[in-house]
Structure 1
Amino acid sequence: MSRLPALFVSHGSPMLALDDGPAHRFLVGLGREIETPKAILVVSAHWESAAPRVSAVERPRTIHDFGGFPRALFEMQYPAPGAPDVAARVAALLPGTVVDPARGLDHGAWVPLKLAYPAADVPVTQLSVQTPLGPRHAFEVGRALRGLRDEGVLILGSGSLTHNLYEFRSPVQEQPAKPWVVAFADWVAETIEAGDIDSLIAYREKAPFGPQNHPTEEHFLPLFTVLGAAFPGERVIARHRSYTYGILAMDAWGTAAA
């Protein structure tokens, strides 16, 4: 098996699982674009912990960690097998990681996976984010784990390129993106393409409207883990760019070999 990619996807609203749109269609096609992995390690914005935690569940449950959405979303299940062997490797590669015997798959994991791998036949485990430790820590996590890509593991960061839900105004998906959202997404794209990791890590000071797009950092951190999981000299490229609800940039980034 060849080296698997490291990918960051924006999972947006849980309605992504149901509603057609550019990001939905991108994820539906994603599983056909890359070699089927032996396992998937999802770094999800919806699992935060003080120290890294990785799930070792044999059969992870589907967690419906949201409210106020249609019943059809709550009825969705993603019965993929767990990947306790990958969890053990993560714990070995990332000192201080706690192996969690109970954690299931939150919607940051199962929503994109249900679109990309609808058969739910690829083993999956999850890794938490450490929001107070910031982007540099998230990047170093990716560096520690990038060897998994040569072991048949797809490293999938799941968050959102922009995530200020306080600015949510309308449930209409297709509406013009706010200028402050576009400016930030374009800056991120230019900075990734330039390979300027230090500026990305300092995005709250250097990016236009950085704090406005991320009042809290948990949804941006999985991108840094994916950037850290790139090998020296390996380019990270845009796999998808679009907007939804006017405030969410649904961009996806991944290593060029993907």
Structure 2
Amino acid sequence: MNYKKVAMNQKIRQNNEKMPVLFIGHGSPINVISDNDFTRSLVKLGQNLPKPMAILVVSAHWLTDGTYVTCMDKPKTIHDFYGFPEKMYEITYPSPGAPDCAKFLAQSENIISCSTQWGLDHASWAVLKHMYPQADIPVFEMSLDYSFNDRNPKPVQYHYDLASKLKVLREKGVLIMGSGNIVHNLGMADYNMQAKPYDWAVEFDQKVKSNLLNGNVEDLINFENMGSSALYAVPTLDHYLPMIYSIALRDENEPVTFTYEGFQNGSISMRCFQIG
């Protein structure tokens, strides 16, 4: 018997309440020091959710060859952005890690590996700073396998299938959060955060909303089928894929609640939702 694996399993069963799943459109790092409708929605969300025993964040900002989870006791705060106010680089999020959860996941799925070289990038801590400002809940992060080759010829379907294997964590009290943006086109972004959103951005965002409500997973996976607006809304997959992880964790007939709807910088959808 693998006693070490059994011990990990027992530890992550300490809280067996089935946790909701989140998708957070995190937008610009500047939101970490901003007081706006979006950040206030995060504060409210943290207050209303059942307290998780750990949090797993699927990050748009950790792109790897293969899939990794952070397995350290004390993940470092990564300031993975440039040209922002100096005070943002002084912010830390000293939450404990969740190495038992991470190692359990890595041992359960042989395509997931442990990493001690990363930490928490701003897709994690800039959101959690508002939701759980005390940083007292263990957090671990999962990377996105960005190796689109023969091993991964249909990347969106690949990630959906992988994400569905994470459901066991929900039963063990782990809050899983995809952190990216449904519409994310930095090449067409306006420096004004309050800029009017582009028509194509609104169109694609609304189509995704409709598909989420209708449970139309096929079109969300094959997003190119949603029309020409998809070409502008999803020029790269990095920020779209975390949403795919969230919907893959949805059980049949589970409700989807939009905890925030809006845009920043004209080309970034800040839509957030909760499953369960």
* TM class by smaller structure: over 0.9
Q: Which moved more, 1:245-254 or 1:182-191?
A: 245-254
Which consecutive unaligned segments of at least 5 residues does structure 2 have? 1-15
CA contact (8 A) 1:22 1:242 kept: no
For residues 193-247 of structure 1, what are the alpha-carbon distances to aligned partners after superposition, in whole Å with 9 as ceiling and x for unaligned? 1111011111023244112112110100010101111123323332211111111
Taking the TM superposition and a 5 Å limit, the aligned residue runs for 1:1-12 are 1-12=16-27
Aligned equivalents of 1:194 and 1:182: distance in 2? 18
Is 2:244 the counterpart of 1:229? no
Tell me whether 1:142 sits opposite 2:157 in the alignment.
no
Taking the TM superposition and a 5 Å limit, the aligned residue runs for 1:78-227 are 78-131=93-146, 132=148, 133=152, 134-170=155-191, 172-227=192-247
Cα RMSD between the aligned structures?
Answer: 1.3
1:67: Cα distance to partner? 0.4
TM-score, scaled to structure 1:
0.95
1:239 maps to 2:265: no
Q: 2:91 aligns with which of 65, 71, 76?
A: 76
Structure 1 gaps of 5+ residues are: none
Q: CA deviation at 1:98?
A: 1.0
**TM-score normalised according to structure 2 size:** 0.89
Query: Matched residue of 2:120: which SS?
Result: coil
Aligned length: 255
SS at match of 1:88: helix
Matched, 1:43 2:58: yes
Aligned-partner residue type, residue 220 of structure 2: L
Answer whether contact 1:187 1:208 (CA < 8 A) is retained.
no
Alignment partners' CA distance in 2, 1:208 and 1:240: 25
CA contact (8 A) 1:56 1:102 kept: no
**Structure 1 residue 175 displacement after superposition:** 2.3
Q: Over residues 128-153 of structure 1, what are the superposed CA-to-partner deviations in whole Å (9 max), with x where a residue is unaligned?
A: 01233422122112210011011010
Structure 1 CA distance for aligned equivalents of residues 108 and 229 of structure 2: 35
Please tell me whether the aligned partners of residues 204 and 226 of structure 2 are also in contact (alpha carbons under 8 angstroms).
no
2:273 aligned counterpart, secondary structure: strand
8 A Cα contact 1:93 1:145, kept in partner: no
Higher mean C-alpha deviation, range 20-29 or range 62-71: 20-29
More moved, 19-28 vs 129-138: 129-138
